[in-house]
Amino acid sequence: MKHIYRIALVALTMAMTACSSKITTTDNDMNTLSFNNEQAAAMTLIACYEAQGDLSSLSEAIDKALESGLTVNQVKEALSQLYAYTGFPRSLNALGTLQKIIEQRKADGKNVEEGPEASPMPAGYDALKQGTEVQTRLVGQPFDYAFCPAEDYYLKAHLFGDIFARDVLTHADREFITVSALSGLEGVMPQLISHVRGARNMGVTEEQLQGIAATLRSRGLEAAALRCEAAIAGDGKPIPPSAWPLGEPNDAFAQYFTGQSYLAVLDPASGLCNVTFEPCCRNNWHIHHAAVQHLVCVSGRGWYQEWGKEPVELKPGTVVTVPAGTKHWHGAARDTWMQHLAYYTDQKATYRTEWLEPVTDEQYKKL
């Protein structure tokens, strides 16, 4: 498997080098975003749609990017880099989409600006040394992934060495693109927060970072915009990608929860509410006496479990009916938030909720 992965890395590097047969030198400041506002917005959408695999929207975004003055090589470089963050399949699909757009624009007689190629590497170029220096600047201090030395080498020598050394894009450009892409993905908040910090260290301004969120929101990518804003704020607060509101911190019931939850009361008369659980958040074991509870998962992913039974995975569309008198708990998965609606039927005058012991970390980690 190592040989296969190395072959894939070499193949991509050769393909990227082949795209650079025409060499030009550049003295771009690598810590400055090279895009104007219109081009930055275009790159944001290209990166986000690539990450989400939305090729139809990506086609439109690429066409507008070329109209804004971005070159084919800038777009090509962005999509090539993103394989390291979103995988080869999405990167290759996106590059194929770019190729079709280029062919169509040429057929329609529209301008297609190839743009400068990457400069050649200097004599004695050391990818590992160069990548280590770039990674240190990006992180803000030396970083070694001792748990997996092979991954550490790939990050330093290939991503931050071979790829970041290509001056078609500046280092600021590359981190701007990475933040835009990761904003479009669920479950990668730690990496998104890290790359927001990296973007700042590489010269991306606060205004430019906020511009990513503004662009995403302007195209209806609300969940991606909120993730981006949460990462910029540095709190990584979970954001529900749905029409259901987050609500307020669920402080009144905090003693019965492990982790942070949020409550949005949708209909006080019927008791319909929306509950949002941060990653790892769950409520204690509890029993609803004299009422049947209904849970409808509307976003994210989580768990529901009755005492003595196997847990049930909650995904958008999952509906659970909790019989009266049943000991149970529910909450989010470890790597993502979860949001569900909750309401009651067959509620008697003697209705009450009996709160019991917490779900232990040992129990939870078995899921």
Give pTM, 2 decimals: 0.64
pLDDT surpassing 70 at residue 5: no
User: Residue 262: beta bridge partners?
Assistant: 249, 276
Q: Provide the pLDDT for residue 334.
A: 82
Average pLDDT along the chain: 89
Mean pLDDT across the stretch 99-122?
A: 95
Query: Tokens 């047969």 sit at which residue?
Result: 21
- Rounded to whole angstroms, how far apart are CA atoms 217 and 351? 43
DSSP string computed for 191-240: HHHHHHHHHHHTT--HHHHHHHHHHHHHTT-HHHHHHHHHHHHTS-----
Contact status, residue 244 vs residue 263, Cβ threshold 8 Å: no
pLDDT digits over 278-292, tens only?
888 999 999 999 999
Q: What token pair was written down for 272?
A: 């319909």
Q: Provide the pLDDT for residue 236.
A: 57
Higher local confidence (pLDDT), 54 or 243: 54
DSSP string computed for 139-187: HSS----TT-HHHHHIIIIIIIIIITT-TTS-HHHHHHHHHHHHHTSSS
Q: How many CA atoms lie within 13 A of 188 on its CB side?
A: 20
- Rounded to whole angstroms, how far apart are CA atoms 277 and 334? 10
Q: What token pair was written down for 334?
A: 């470890």
Between β-strands 286-289 and 312-314, what pairing exists: parallel, antiparallel or unpaired? unpaired
pLDDT digits over 138-178, tens only?
999 999 999 999 999 999 999 999 999 999 999 999 999 99
Nearest CA-CA partner of 284 in 363, 338, 176: 363
Which helix or strand (DSSP H or E) is residue 341 part of?
A: strand 338-345
Q: Provide the pLDDT for residue 353.
A: 96
pLDDT surpassing 90 at residue 269: no
CATH classification of 248-365 is 3.40.50.450, yes or no? no
pLDDT surpassing 80 at residue 19: no
Contact status, residue 313 vs residue 338, Cβ threshold 8 Å: no
Alpha-carbon radius of gyration of the chain? 24
Query: Tokens 């170029």 sit at which residue?
Result: 125
Contact status, residue 81 vs residue 16, Cβ threshold 8 Å: no
**Helix runs in the chain, H state only:** 2-18, 37-52, 55-67, 72-81, 83-86, 88-107, 127-139, 149-153, 171-183, 189-201, 206-218, 222-233, 361-365
Q: Is 308 left (phi over 0), alpha (psi -120 to 50) or beta?
A: left
Q: Provide the pLDDT for residue 227.
A: 85
Q: Provide the pLDDT for residue 240.
A: 53
pLDDT digits over 189-222, tens only?
889 999 999 999 999 999 999 999 999 989 988 7
pLDDT surpassing 80 at residue 23: no
- Rounded to whole angstroms, how far apart are CA atoms 172 and 100? 28
User: Which of these ranges, 8-22, 45-59, 236-250, has the smallest mean pLDDT?
Assistant: 8-22
- Rounded to whole angstroms, how far apart are CA atoms 334 and 281? 8
pLDDT surpassing 60 at residue 111: yes
User: Which of these ranges, 15-29, 89-103, 234-248, 294-308, has the smallest mean pLDDT?
Assistant: 15-29
Sketch the domain layout of the chain as residue ranges: 2-121+165-233, 248-365
Q: What is the DSSP letter of 5?
A: H
Q: Provide the pLDDT for residue 225.
A: 86
Cβ contacts of 192 within 8 Å, gap of 6 or more:
179, 182, 183, 185, 227, 228, 231, 236
Cβ contacts of 186 within 8 Å, gap of 6 or more:
241, 300, 336
CATH architecture of 2-121+165-233: Up-down Bundle (1.20)
Q: Provide the pLDDT for residue 260.
A: 85
Q: Provide the pLDDT for residue 18.
A: 39
Between β-strands 282-283 and 257-258, what pairing exists: parallel, antiparallel or unpaired? antiparallel
Q: Provide the pLDDT for residue 16.
A: 43
Please report which confidence band the pLDDT of residue 270 belongs to, taking 50, 70 and 90 as the band edges.
confident
